[in-house]
């Protein structure tokens, strides 16, 4: 089997972005040759990446460790446009000068080949996933999933945070559909590598199928009840401060790096019309770093001083998708409650921490 070295390395690099998922051998890549066409497949049981190469060679199936194969292809590709893979015996393949052990394992392809596809901007789907996937997490009472409502509103929620994003053009999804966070993360990473925005989407009984470039990415549909997301959204805010997300991110990273703490505090003083305070405290109350973060505008309806503690990483995750934007950080006025981040069609809420 003769592959274009650059294209095969790209395929393996995309597959390497999969997490472990539910398939215990998600580290493998499967090569299946029939009539000179080789299908290359990687899966973790929740998301599947499939592409084809015109390689020639005998019919057959091979399963091999993806990381080892990628390292071999990268080395060969430094001085060659193509890389040849051939079976040396029942347990070994040769890739250039490298010998790799094969595995006697095969998996069934999940992605249907005959699903009806519609031409769409895959970039908009990727953007939606990228904005909310940070809030998808498996916990004792939440699942690592993303909910899509009416084809255009994307939600993710764990025990401590919620994210919502609305796209402009509704996809032809059912009224409510659910995919794993694992699948969403893989699609986001694949789009970064491919730098593609156009593609096709199809809906099958058990899969959402995305064609982007020469790849088919199948995302398994999850059975998951839709939480009452809208009831969690804060309707009114007593304090709204407009700040450059990048300034906030830099300050949070500095506190996390210097003080090595998990939580920090935000303080808004209505008498200070230029800066808000971001600081940390040790468990015993000893003050740590203090950073004055400039803001653009403050709307404090009741002229109250605000101080809230929060998980630094959660706030970093919420700000990361909009790091180049001017965002609104909102406080509903409750003693603990939530911290709300709003930008355009994006909204993220993180639960304030109660520190003793």
For 27-67, the pLDDT digits (tens) are 999 999 999 999 999 999 999 999 999 999 889 999 999 99
What does the pLDDT look like over 33-43, one tens digit per residue?
999 999 999 99
Exposure b/e, 170-196, CB count within 10 A at least 16 = b = ebebeeebbbbbbbbbbbbbbbeebeb
Residues of the chain with CATH 3.10.150.10: 2-103, 117-230, 235-351
Going by pLDDT thresholds of 50, 70 and 90, the confidence category of residue 287 is confident
Burial zone of 65 (CB within 10 Å; 0-12 exposed, 13-18 middle, 19+ buried): middle
Q: Which pair of tokens denotes residue 316?
A: 């970093």
Whether domain 117-230 has CATH 3.30.1360.70: no
Going by pLDDT thresholds of 50, 70 and 90, the confidence category of residue 238 is confident
Region 167-196: mean pLDDT is 88
281 vs 344 pLDDT, higher one: 344
Mean pLDDT of the chain: 89
pLDDT of residue 21: 82
Quick check: 333 pLDDT over 90? Answer: no
pLDDT of residue 356: 58
Going by pLDDT thresholds of 50, 70 and 90, the confidence category of residue 248 is very high
Selecting from 3.10.150.10, 3.90.700.10, 3.40.50.2300, 3.40.50.2000, what CATH number does the domain 235-351 have?
Answer: 3.10.150.10
312 vs 20 pLDDT, higher one: 312
Quick check: 252 pLDDT over 70? Answer: yes
pTM as predicted: 0.88
pLDDT of residue 120: 79
The values of phi and psi at residue 282, to 5°, are -70, 170
pLDDT of residue 106: 86
Q: Maximum distance among all alpha carbons in the chain? A: 77
pLDDT of residue 245: 97
Region 10-16: mean pLDDT is 95
Say how far apart CA 85 and CA 95 lie, in whole Å: 5
Q: Which pair of tokens denotes residue 30?
A: 């499967």
Exposure b/e, 6-37, CB count within 10 A at least 16 = b = ebbbbbbbbbebbeebebeebbbbbbbbeeee
Lowest mean pLDDT among 229-238, 240-249, 310-319: 229-238
Region 324-330: mean pLDDT is 94
288 DSSP assignment: E
By 3-state DSSP, what share of the chain in percent is helix, strand and coil, each rounded to 5?
25, 40, 35
Going by pLDDT thresholds of 50, 70 and 90, the confidence category of residue 141 is low
Say how far apart CA 45 and CA 34 lie, in whole Å: 24
pLDDT of residue 2: 92
Say how far apart CA 178 and CA 154 lie, in whole Å: 10
Going by pLDDT thresholds of 50, 70 and 90, the confidence category of residue 355 is low
pLDDT of residue 92: 93
Quick check: 307 pLDDT over 90? Answer: no
**Topology of domain 2-103, CATH:** DNA Polymerase III; Chain A, domain 2 (3.10.150)
| Residue 137 neighbours by CB under 8 Å, 6+ apart | 144, 158, 181
The values of phi and psi at residue 86, to 5°, are -140, 155
Q: Are 288 and 231 in contact (CB under 8 A)?
A: no
Q: Which of 54, 9, 4, 11 is nearest to 34 (CA)?
A: 54
Q: Rounding to the nearest 10 degrees, give the CA dihedral for residues 277, 320, 158, 142.
A: -160
What does the pLDDT look like over 88-126, one tens digit per residue?
888 999 998 899 999 988 888 888 877 888 887 888 899
| Residue 285 neighbours by CB under 8 Å, 6+ apart | none
- Count CB-CB contacts under 10 A for residue 92: 12
Q: Which of 161, 137, 164, 168 is nearest to 148 (CA)?
A: 164
């Amino acid at each position: 089997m003769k592959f274009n070295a650059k294209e095969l390395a790209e395929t393996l690099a995309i597959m390497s972005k999969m997490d472990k998922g539910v398939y215990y051998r998600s580290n493998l890549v499967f090569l299946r040759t029939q009539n000179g066409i080789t299908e290359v497949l990687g899966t973790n049981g929740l998301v599947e990446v499939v592409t084809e190469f015109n390689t020639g060679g005998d019919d057959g199936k091979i399963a091999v460790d993806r990381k080892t194969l990628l390292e071999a292809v990268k080395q060969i590709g430094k001085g060659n446009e193509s890389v040849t893979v051939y079976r040396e015996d029942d347990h070994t393949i040769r890739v250039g000068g490298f010998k790799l052990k094969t595995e006697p394992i095969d998996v069934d392809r999940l992605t249907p080949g005959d699903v009806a596809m519609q031409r769409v901007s895959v970039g908009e789907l990727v953007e939606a996933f990228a904005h909310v996937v940070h809030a998808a997490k498996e916990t004792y009472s939440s699942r690592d999933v993303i909910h899509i409502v009416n084809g255009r509103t994307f939600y993710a929620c764990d025990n401590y945070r919620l994210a919502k994003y609305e796209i402009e053009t509704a996809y032809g999804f059912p009224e409510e559909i659910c995919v794993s966070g694992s699948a969403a993360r893989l699609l986001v990473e694949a789009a970064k590598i491919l730098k593609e925005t156009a593609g096709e989407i199809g809906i099958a009984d058990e899969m959402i199928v995305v064609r982007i470039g020469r790849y088919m990415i199948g995302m398994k549909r999850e059975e998951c009840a839709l939480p009452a997301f809208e009831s969690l959204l804060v309707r009114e805010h007593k304090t709204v401060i407009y700040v450059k997300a990048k300034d906030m991110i830099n300050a949070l990273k500095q506190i996390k790096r210097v003080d090595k703490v998990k939580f920090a505090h935000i303080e808004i003083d209505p008498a200070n019309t230029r800066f808000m305070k971001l600081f940390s405290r040790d468990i015993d109350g000893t003050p740590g770093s203090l950073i004055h973060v400039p803001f653009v505008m403050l709307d404090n309806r009741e002229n109250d001083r605000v101080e809230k503690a929060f998980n630094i990483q959660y706030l970093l995750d919420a700000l990361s998708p909009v790091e180049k934007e001017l965002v609104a950080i909102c406080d509903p006025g409750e003693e603990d409650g939530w911290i709300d981040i709003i930008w355009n069609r994006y909204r993220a809420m993180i639960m304030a921490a109660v520190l003793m």
